[in-house]
Structure 1
């Protein structure tokens, strides 16, 4: 359930970045206007960390906000350095910072709620 939420929210962010030409993906598995499969796989992998290595942030929303604001754009910068994506300008990093600063605490909140329901 948590992985589905993570995939949908993450795919929405990356599709918005692609649609507004803020990022271009170098290796497409299909149409160039749709987020590549490997990005979706990365979102699923990120979803698995929410209850494990990132669980300590589930009640620390300000900390997760800052981690997302800094870590999200840094991940895309690393991907750009590796040749996987092309950032189209400085605005790309601003939008990424805002998106990840919002998504990270939201996904951690969802992870916490899903855990409560399981108990």
Structure 2
């Protein structure tokens, strides 16, 4: 569990700082390593890949909509004016790796997932803007939009994680802190 959380934090920071310094690929490499380790230790790789795919699709739609409407802008990694940068999509994949591990507790309550999504989702973007990885073009309206988006996105991802759980409390996963025994 601690390893999963640490890999997420390192990957998030690498993506945001990399994007801020016009090195968006550096964060993507960190995410690829974290996702590969996650899949290597998952007992159900197919289920985890499905969850990652769902998160990527959701992230592509939501972050592309934010970009296309002008609520946010990115300093690097943007291949099209209407498609979210590849490094932020990598973050969606990375976030998916936490849903059945260090965030597994959130799967017990969709209302709690919605509230935490509404609070923590925008906080992540706000932190990213402070590091220069993203610009909230109109900060208050952007944060309100992000809060509404994440109030829906988080429960959606929780439902997906419930259905696609490839993490079991295997001895190896427990030893490395990638799973918890419930």
TM-score normalized by the length of structure 1: 0.91
TM-score normalized by the length of structure 2: 0.61
Q: Which runs of 5+ in 2 are unaligned?
A: 1-49, 167-182
Task: Decide which structure has the larger Cα Rg and report it.
Answer: 2
- Equivalent in the alignment of 1:76: 125
4+ residue segments displaced more than 6 Å? none
State the aligned residue count.
Answer: 116
Indicate the larger mover: 14-23 or 34-43. 34-43
Structure 1 residue 99: Cα displacement: 0.5
Any idea what the Cα deviations from partners look like across 1:71-98, whole Å, max 9, x if unmatched? 0100000110001111011211111000
Q: Which runs of 5+ in 1 are unaligned?
A: none
Any idea what the Cα deviations from partners look like across 1:10-49, whole Å, max 9, x if unmatched? 1111000001000001112523432111001100000101
| Superposition CA RMSD, Å | 1.4
- Equivalent in the alignment of 1:48: 97
Report the Cα distance in structure 2 between the residues aligned to 1:31 and 1:65, rounded to whole angstroms. Answer: 30
Question: Which of 23, 38, 41 is equivalent to 2:87?
Answer: 38
- Equivalent in the alignment of 2:145: 95
Report the Cα distance in structure 2 between the residues aligned to 1:98 and 1:61, rounded to whole angstroms. Answer: 15
Report the Cα distance in structure 2 between the residues aligned to 1:29 and 1:110, rounded to whole angstroms. Answer: 27
